[in-house]
Amino acid sequence: MENAGAIPVAEEKTHKQAIRAWTMYDWANSAFATSITAAVLPVYYTSVAAGNLAPNIATAYWGFTSSASALLAALLSPVLGAIADIRGSKKRFLTIFMILGVTATSLLYFVQSGDWLLASIFFVFANVGFAGSLVYYDSLLPHVARQDEIDQVSSRGYAMGYIGGGILLAVNLFMIQFLPSLVPGLDTILMTRLSFVTVGIWWLVFTFPLLLRVKEPPRRFEVGEDTSRPVVASLRRLGKTFSEIRHYRDLSMALLSFWVYANGIGTIIVMATAYGHELGFSQSTLIGTLLMVQFLAAPFAILFGHLAKRLGTKKSIYITLLVYTLIAIAGYFLYKEWQFWALGAAVATVQGGSQALSRSLIGKMMPKSKSAEFYGFFSVFEKFASILGPFLFGVVSTIMGNSRLSIVSLIIFFVVGIVLLTRVNVERGVAVAQAEEQAMVG
């Protein structure tokens, strides 16, 4: 005879299948994060697309391009997130942005020598698709994972992302570095352009498990809310949420803290290979290090998920930010390629944990029925971090003639982020979210 509180076997099986399908989207989209944002495209952009420009100017243009795409995504995310909540269409919006990202990524194939403007345009659309889809992907987390497993599920997603992105990056590295010497008629530039197409295909194919296995969360709205005009209703809801932001005191402080330290994390991710290229490091070292980070980061992402269960989410995030502070300082003294490998290994230990636990920390303190709306705000904070960090990196690099001071200046983001995070009371934030959820109707 089953225990009264036991979860039916069929229900538990469906729950686990949904979790696995949800994590597969990390596997799918991380190919863009690794091969496009972090590894292959920055090098191709600075050495080929912008190869006719001075090295520091090419690096700066890449920073400005990243900032522009992040700004556009940040402006769109909250409104579209609120519309998805009201209409009950998180998966539909995820699909739309995924298709935009896949198409623009594949079009990078047509970028050749001197086409830095075309590369910038395609990357802006691709990054908007990538960032937009993540708003709806993240918003599904509180619905897929139970409250007591959200840290672990979020961490598992990042681990899957590192492995999936790492596998395709390894394939792309083989295509770029070795195929031209094995097959007559092929060259490195052609293989690099083809690698952009493989990212689009990978992203598209591995999105299907989520679309097939994860259910659309039930549509819920506030008492008296007019949902006949979703755009108007979404703007009103955003205005109401923003005006009542003090009611979500701890969630707001967590978002602010995240925005500050994400400036440092995002800049390291986006600018690392461009910075290494500026220092004269070989493409094998730059992409090889990123490949190492992918596979080394996966077990550490899982580790931080378990660490959060033992120490708490906040304390685990503190550890990641302290390590990042040391990395930023060491980056100023970067001269040799083995040092780049060493710093990459250090980044791998904390990159997944910092991102996964930030996502789950925010998820704990938001009402489930407004998850896309609040993850839209989360995306705004994340994307504005991606605007300010690379932009300042580019400005400092342009003024100083090199990027060393750009790297060391990132420590301020980590230190201030830690200070702000100490003011977050997670238990109080969870209680406020639960009370708000009970006030909603189906």
Cα distances (angstroms) measured from residue 403 to each of 43, 275, 397: 16, 7, 5
What stretch of H or E contains 4?
none
How far is it, in rounded angstroms, from Cα 51 to Cα 113? 7
Tell me the pLDDT tens digit for each residue of 211-252.
999 988 876 655 555 555 666 666 666 666 666 666 788 988
**Which three-class secondary structure state does DSSP give residue 150?**
helix
User: What single letter denotes the amino acid at residue 51?
Assistant: G
Q: Which of 64-73, 77-86, 213-222, 412-421 has the lowest mean pLDDT?
A: 77-86
pLDDT of residue 331: 85
Exposed e or buried b per residue across 355-376, where buried means at least 16 C-beta atoms within 10 angstroms of its C-beta:
bbbbbbbbbbbbbbbbbbbbbb
Our CA dihedral for 173, 189, 131, 288, rounded to 10 degrees, sits at 20
Backbone angles phi, psi at 226, to 5 degrees: -85, 110
pLDDT at 194 over 70: yes
Kindly report the average pLDDT of the chain as a whole number.
83
Q: Taking the model in full, what pTM does it have? A: 0.74
Closest CA to 70 of 132, 25, 26: 132
CA 338 to chain centre: 27
Measured CA to CA, the distance from residue 347 to residue 297 in angstroms comes to 8
Query: Rounded mean pLDDT of 182-188?
Result: 88
Confidence band, pLDDT 50/70/90 cuts, at residue 1: very low
Q: CB–CB of 407/264 below 8 Å?
A: no
Among 142-151, 314-323, 409-418, the range scoring the smallest mean pLDDT is 142-151
Neighbours of 342 (CB within 10 A): 15
pLDDT at 373 over 70: no
DSSP 227: -
Cα 308–31–204 angle (5° rounding)? 115
At residue 147, does pLDDT exceed 90? Answer: no
Checking phi first, is residue 224 left (phi over 0); if not, alpha (psi -120 to 50) or beta? left
Residue-level pLDDT at 440: 58
Fold of 15-205+231-438: Growth Hormone; Chain: A; (1.20.1250)
Predicted confidence at residue 229, as pLDDT, reads 62
Phi and psi at residue 402, to the nearest 5°: -155, 175
Q: Which of 279, 274, 291, 271 is nearest to 47 (CA)?
A: 274
Residue 319 CA, distance from chain mean position: 20
What's residue 202's pLDDT?
A: 98
Question: In this model, does residue 381 exceed pLDDT 70?
Answer: no
Mark 286-316 as b/e (b = at least 16 C-beta within 10 Å).
bbbbbbbbbbbbbebbbbbbebbeeeebbeb
State the average pLDDT over residues 297-304.
88
Banded model confidence at residue 289, pLDDT cuts 50, 70, 90: confident
- Residues 270-287 have a mean pLDDT of 78
What burial class does residue 279 get, using C-beta atoms within 10 Å of its C-beta: 0-12 exposed, 13-18 middle, 19+ buried? middle
Helices (H), 333-370: 337-364
Q: What is the pLDDT of residue 231?
A: 60
Region 311-320 average pLDDT = 93
Check pLDDT > 80 for residue 87: no
Cα angle, residue 296 at apex, residues 143 and 310 outer, rounded to 5°:
55
